[in-house]
Amino acid sequence: MDFSDSPEVAEFRADLRAWLAEHLAEHADGVSYDSAEGVEATHRWHRALAAAGYVAVSLDPRYGGRGLSDLYEAVINEELAAAAAPPPPPIGHIAHAVADFASDDLKGRVLPGLLGCTESWCQGFSEPGAGSDLAGLSTTAAATDGGFVVNGQKIWTSWAMWADRCLLLCRTEPDQPRHRGLSMLVVDMDTPGITRREITLANGSREFAEVFFDDVRVPAANLVGERGQGWKIAQHMLTYERGPADMGWTGRLGNVLAAAQEAVRSGRLPADDVLRRRLAAVAVDAQVLSWHVARSLVDRESADPGSSGSIDKLLTTRVEQELYHVVDDLLGAAVVVGDQRPFSEYLWSRAQSIYGGTQQIQRQIVAQRLLGLPRG
């Protein structure tokens, strides 16, 4: 049992800290998804990280990675959170899907832009009729001469408004059972027939979009893996989507907690005994969450990552939603009158139990796959 860094990880961490100390201010200014300038600043930040060798480090060096374990991806997420830097580009899962399944030709065409962050990507999975029930999606890609013709609609597609390419999960085999009828395509977002429509979230965030596909032609060479392999690739991606990023998210929750503790310590926010105890209780939960995330990261090779990921997400949901309850109760009326950032952050905490598989679905996965309870 050892929760501390190995010498190699400690050195990597120290190098990254030094790099952040020197370059963070220069590269991270103005990063957001709220405006064209903010998005451009975000892309600059991602390119700076890539140039310094901190993007997709777990990918094989043949493809531009550094061949390091997921732990190093986690360290990057953790250190960026600790420095209150913007997050790294969320592309590890896309990079692994392409690197592990695509043809050499496709890899050669798309991986340099993906890893160098000179091209930005989105992931077209959810649909209006297929959220929790993702395998029931209905966007089709009909095989034609030399390729596919895509028709359908995607929703909740993060960063689609600015993406150059989309990794699209779609139905190519309508005669097959639903999980086996899916395939994964790389779609250039400037292809004729693609329409994007921004979705403004309740908290004002402009990260999401709907994407409409009307007779969009995609060359056969842009098929990732084989026809019918889409679900398998999507499951493979899930194993890379959460673990390391959880570490960063946990760290960012830790920053929110630390700021609240500092405000109480300094007397800037008055807190009676009840609020102090609630703050201490949620600090306990946040600490246990960070230990748990570290454990699942190190454990994941031996465990079923999809299912233990559900446990991690449920635990994160508990902690995050309670944390914002306590923070908002500390702030009192300032949440509802005045600067609306605290209320926006609170609203976003309500999304934690919805995105990436709702709380109900995650519990069902835990109950049926881990506890072995029978399907209803």
Partner 1 sequence: MQIGLDPEQRAFARASGALAADLAAGWDRGRGPHDVGSPEPSEKDWARIADAGWPALRLREENGGLGAGTVDVAVLVEQLGRHAVAAPVLGTLVAAEQLQTLGAPAATLEAIAAGELRVAPLLDARLLDFAPSADGALAWDSAGATVAFAPDGSAHALGEPLPAADVTRAVRRPTSPVPAAALELRPPTDDDRDRLHAFVLTLLVADLLGTMSAALDAAVEHARSRTQFGRPIGSFQAVQQLAAEDLVSVEATRSAVYHSAWAVDALPAAEALRAARVAKAFASRAGVAVCEDVVQLFGGIGMTWESPVHVWLRRAQTDRTSFGDEHTHQAVLADLDLAPGA
Token pair 């596909």 is found at: 213
Euclidean distance between CA atoms 89 and 114, whole angstroms: 10
Among 24, 135, 143, 294, binds partner 1 (CB under 8 A): 294
CB 304 within 8 A of CB 297: no
User: Which range, of 25-33, 120-128, 197-205, 364-372, touches partner 1 by CB under 8 A?
Assistant: 364-372
Is residue 151 classed as helix, strand or coil in its secondary structure? strand
Name the minimum Å distance from CB 306 to partner 1. 14
Q: Does 4 bind partner 1 (CB under 8 A)?
A: yes
Based on CB atoms, which residue is closest to partner 1, 25 or 288? Answer: 288
Q: Does 280 bind partner 1 (CB under 8 A)?
A: yes
Based on CB atoms, which residue is closest to partner 1, 201 or 280? Answer: 280
Euclidean distance between CA atoms 195 and 315, whole angstroms: 37
Based on CB atoms, which residue is closest to partner 1, 89 or 305? Answer: 305
Q: Does 267 bind partner 1 (CB under 8 A)?
A: yes
Both structure tokens of 340? 């609306």
CB 202 within 8 A of CB 343: no
User: Which range, of 122-130, 139-147, 331-339, 358-366, touches partner 1 by CB under 8 A?
Assistant: 358-366
Beta bridge partners of 218: 148
Name the minimum Å distance from CB 283 to partner 1. 6
CB 375 within 8 A of CB 368: yes
Instruction: Report long-range pairs for 12-21 (Cβ below 8 Å, ≥24 apart).
Output: 12/68, 12/72, 12/75, 13/75, 13/79, 16/54, 16/75, 16/76, 16/79, 17/79, 17/83, 19/52, 19/54, 20/79, 20/80, 20/83, 20/85
Name the minimum Å distance from CB 349 to partner 1. 18
User: Which range, of 48-56, 176-184, 186-194, 285-293, touches partner 1 by CB under 8 A?
Assistant: 285-293
Q: Does 149 bind partner 1 (CB under 8 A)?
A: no
Based on CB atoms, which residue is closest to partner 1, 181 or 305? Answer: 305
Name the minimum Å distance from CB 360 to partner 1. 7
Name the minimum Å distance from CB 82 to partner 1. 17
Q: Does 298 bind partner 1 (CB under 8 A)?
A: yes
Name the minimum Å distance from CB 291 to partner 1. 4
User: Which range, of 44-52, 174-182, 195-203, 360-368, touches partner 1 by CB under 8 A?
Assistant: 360-368
Euclidean distance between CA atoms 32 and 30, whole angstroms: 6
Is residue 168 classed as helix, strand or coil in its secondary structure? strand
Based on CB atoms, which residue is closest to partner 1, 280 or 336? Answer: 280
Output the DSSP codes for 196-236. Answer: EEEE--TTS---EEEEEEEEEEEEGGGEESSTT-HHHHHHH
Q: Does 255 bind partner 1 (CB under 8 A)?
A: no
Active site residue 73: no
- Interface of this chain with partner 1, residues 34 to 93, rule: CB under 8 A: 71
Euclidean distance between CA atoms 83 and 160, whole angstroms: 28
- Interface of this chain with partner 1, residues 303 to 322, rule: CB under 8 A: 308, 311, 314-315, 318
CB 183 within 8 A of CB 229: yes
Q: Does 217 bind partner 1 (CB under 8 A)?
A: no
Among 163, 279, 327, 331, binds partner 1 (CB under 8 A): 279
Query: How far, CA to CA in Å, does 77 sit from each of 18, 34, 38, 250, 345?
Result: 15, 22, 20, 10, 20
Output the DSSP codes for 74-116. Answer: HHHHHHHHHTTPPPPPS-HHHHHHHHHHS-HHHHHHHHHHHHH
Identified catalytic residue from 241, 262, 320, 322: 241
Q: Compute and round to an integer the Cα radius of gyration of the chain.
A: 21
Among 187, 289, 327, 331, binds partner 1 (CB under 8 A): 289
Both structure tokens of 117? 């962050």
Q: Which residues bind partner 1 (CB under 8 A)?
A: 1-6, 9, 71, 261, 264-267, 271, 276-277, 279-281, 283-285, 287-289, 291-292, 294-295, 298-299, 302, 308, 311, 314-315, 318, 360, 362-368, 370-376
Positions marked catalytic: 241
